Amino acid sequence: MNSTVTVGSTPLTPSDVVAVARHDARVVVAAEALRRVAATRSLIEGLADDPQPHYGISTGFGALATTFIADDRRAQLQASLIRSHAAGTGAEVEREVVRALMLLRLQTLATGRTGVRPIVVETYAALLNAGITPIVREYGSLGCSGDLAPLSHVALAVMGEGEVRDAGGNTMAAADALAAAGIAPVAFREKEGLALINGTDGMLGMLLLALHDIGMLLTTADVAAAISVESQLGTDAVFAADLMALRPQHGQAASAANLRAFLAGSPIVASHRGPECTRVQDAYSLRCAPQVHGAARDTVAHAALVAERELASAVDNPVVTLDGRVESNGNFHGAPVAYVLDFLAIAVADVASMSERRTDRALDPARSQGLSPFLADEVGVDSGLMIAQYAAAGIVSELKRLAVPASVDSIPSSAMQEDHVSMGWAGARKLRRAVDGLARVLAIEVLTGCRALDLRAPLQPAAVTGAVRDLVRTRVAGPGHDRFVSPEMEAVAALVASGAVADVALARVG
């Protein structure tokens, strides 16, 4: 993981955002970026002296864009903008989301296309490096003009107002946190307040974090499917490369390749391969895993392409062009990001739905190929993993609701000036919950599948699935009489969410 991330020389990468947001990588602003920022600021100051009004510099905002603001009121205008727009409500947004949002806004400021002073850029970097996290509330953004309220809460802290958490997680006044870190609050000048809040940084930050997690979880889904295929005496023949080549979908081929590798050399699979096997074909949840997991992979690839383009963007309104014009535009509209956030929620729900079906098959004696009902130790006395499947089913049901798109639900605001909005922030918030749900559903399948593998003894699993089973056994005991099952589910969920299950499988494949 990167220990230092440089802003302003080249566009940030997704791994840069994860490094700063989750792992507190240090941020450095490139010297050439500060020179660009200073040069552009000189243009803004020239326009500020012009008796003709210029939007965002000497006018009000939004529906008040035609109101001229005299020179002696512009500092108050900027402060009023931030204070009034810091109108979030609800639960506190996660630290990693706020740090991602701050870093992405910093990157746009460093492009030199927004017209802020270098001190603003440097102060954003200073807050990140000091571990100061403004408190942002969950509700308030319509995703157009960007994430106004969340970004305003951050700008408010840069002014030395509002509440923050320090590096230790303690809540305190922003003024006190800045003073303790030796950071002077900034009094914003012309254009600066607007430049700090017109962007898709919140929804983009959550998209990048989700893409990082979903990529890992799709590998985990392949692992879980392999364990289910193996423990339910399914066949790996349907994953053959030549069969996949008949339908050249890239994600499908990648998932099938994983399944072949994860099941390679399995004594359990070999035990029922041959003419004596009377099964014609497996159920869809086993046989079609590459098709569903692969479609999700292709959706991730599309979302990653949109995210990459957004990372290379300078989103502000008005914006300072390369030839020195100050132009209004609509680039702050979050539709490109909002759409893929919704697409990903659909893919997450479907992958989880298939996983839950594989779990249910393992617990049903009519379909599990000889395993005990609910994988119970003493049938009738023990319930085994019966209710673990209920938990997976409940999560999947919620994931289906979370898959309803937010981006089609525009609602007008700002006296009909902002009459079509993206709802991208809302899409990102529900995707975060959906990703957590997917991890838990996959964990229940892994927990169930590992118990089923143990019940196939003396037959042994493949090297990869066996390694995953051994990892799970470091946290959860094998088959036996009923135990308090919730802590075991949580333990395996932690292994899945941390990436440990995927890492063990990939390490064994080499």
Terminal Cα-to-Cα distance of the chain (whole angstroms): 21
Task: Tell me whether residue 331 is in a domain.
Answer: no
Listed in sequence order, the residues at least 6 apart from 48 whose beta carbon sits closer than 8 Å to its beta carbon are 54, 57, 58, 71, 74, 190, 191
Answer yes or no: do 253 and 290 share one domain. Answer: yes
In a domain, 325, yes or no: no
Name the domain boundary from 130, 165, 199. 199
Residue 475's CATH number: 1.20.200.10
Which bin fits 458, alpha (ψ -120 to 50), beta or left (φ > 0)? alpha
- Residue 322 token pair: 């390369």
Domain tally, the chain: 2
Q: Sign of dihedral through CA atoms 123, 211, 396, 374? A: negative
pLDDT tens series, the chain, 510 aa: 669 999 999 999 999 999 999 999 999 999 999 999 999 999 999 888 888 877 778 777 665 666 777 887 888 889 999 999 999 999 999 999 999 999 999 999 999 999 999 999 999 999 999 999 999 999 999 888 789 999 999 999 999 999 999 999 999 999 999 999 999 999 999 999 999 999 999 999 999 999 999 999 999 999 999 999 999 999 999 999 999 999 999 999 999 999 999 999 999 999 998 776 667 799 999 999 999 999 999 999 999 999 999 999 999 988 999 999 999 898 899 999 999 999 999 999 999 999 999 999 999 999 999 999 999 999 999 999 999 999 999 999 999 999 999 999 988 887 777 788 888 999 999 999 999 999 999 999 999 999 999 999 999 999 999 999 999 999 999 999 999 999 999 999 999 999 999 999 999 998
Written as six digits, the tokens of 414 are: 């700002």
Phi first, then psi: give them for residue 116, nearest 5 degrees. Answer: -80, 165
Clarify whether residues 10 and 107 are in a common domain: yes
Contact 67, 60 (CB under 8 A): yes
Residues annotated as catalytic (active site), given as ranges: 55
Q: What is the C-alpha separation between 41 and 57, in angstroms, rounded?
A: 11
- Same domain membership, residue 237 and residue 176: no
190 and 222 in a single domain? The answer is no
Do 357 and 466 belong to one domain?
yes
374 domain residue, yes or no? yes
Sole residue written with tokens 């994600």: 251
Query: Is residue 211 located within the same domain as residue 176?
Result: no
Distance of CA 367 to the CA centre of its chain: 36
Give tens-digit pLDDT for 31-51: 999 999 999 999 999 888 888
Same domain flag for 446 and 302: yes
Determine the structural domain holding residue 190 and report its residue range.
4-199
In a domain, 297, yes or no: yes
Look at residues 199, 215, 248 and tell me which one is the last residue of a structural domain: 199
Domain of 126, CATH number, reads: 1.10.275.10
User: Which of 135, 167, 199 is the C-terminal boundary of a domain?
Assistant: 199
Angle at 349 between CA 344 and CA 352, to 5 degrees: 125
